[in-house]
Amino acid sequence: MLVKQIAQALSVSAETVRYYTRIGYLSPARNSNNGYKEYGQKDVDRLRFILSARQLGFSVEDIGLFLSEAGKGKSICPRVRKLVAHRLNETEERFKETQALRKRMKKAILEWDKKPNKAPTGNMVCHLIEDFNA
């Protein structure tokens, strides 16, 4: 299977396939007649794993560690569980921070709708921001 074919089969760009090949996550064979890279079922399965891991928020570096450990015959499942739980906690925190920011922004819009526009002075850049109290 050529780059275009594996890309099409997994609904990704050819550049995505080339990227994961370039960093060593995929290892296609070389066709001795034409020098083209030929991807096999192992590459398809590995790319499917990579794409699934990316959808779960794992970084390219995380995936590299997973592939390395799996290549040594070690189960990565405990590490995956721990890491996704940790990342979920981080995501929850960011979500709370984003909700708080959203609330401040809504409050700002309500307050600012009642205030006039003012030109900057030597001491003031934008009174809307400078007078805002969250």
- In this predicted model, what pLDDT tens digit does every residue of 51-97 receive, in sequence order? 999 999 999 999 999 999 999 999 999 999 999 999 999 999 999 99
Task: Establish if 119 belongs to a structural domain.
Answer: yes
| Phi, psi dihedral angles at 36 (to 5 degrees) | -70, 145
pTM of the entire predicted model:
0.77
Task: Establish if 75 belongs to a structural domain.
Answer: no
Q: How far apart are CA 79 and CA 110, in angstroms?
A: 46
Whether 134 has a pLDDT exceeding 80, the answer reads: no
SS3 91: helix
Q: How many domains does the chain have?
A: 2
Task: Establish if 77 belongs to a structural domain.
Answer: no
Task: Establish if 43 belongs to a structural domain.
Answer: yes
- The residue ranges of DSSP E strands in 13-59, in sequence order, are 29-30, 37-38
Task: Establish if 126 belongs to a structural domain.
Answer: yes
- CATH number of the domain residue 6 falls in: 1.10.1660.10
Task: Establish if 26 belongs to a structural domain.
Answer: yes
**Which range of residues forms the domain containing residue 110?**
91-134
Angle 14-22/41-55 helices, nearest 10 degrees? Answer: 100
